[in-house]
Structure 1
Amino acid sequence: GWTARVDGATTAGAAPFPADWRRAGQIGHVFTHFALELEIFHARINDDAPSGHFWSLAHEISGEALPTVMKKAIEAAIPGATKRPKGMQ
Structure 2
Amino acid sequence: MTVSLLTPLPRTPVYAQMKQEQCLLHEDWILYNGKTDVVFHPRGMTSAQLYEGYLDFRRRFYSLPSFIRRMRVSRTHPVYNFVMNLGLCLAIKQS
> TM-score higher than 0.5 here?
no
Q: Between Structure 1 and Structure 2, which shows a larger proportion of helix residues?
A: 2
Give the TM-score normalised by the residue count of structure 2.
0.27
Largest Rg, 1 or 2: 2
Going by fraction, where is strand more abundant, 1 or 2?
1
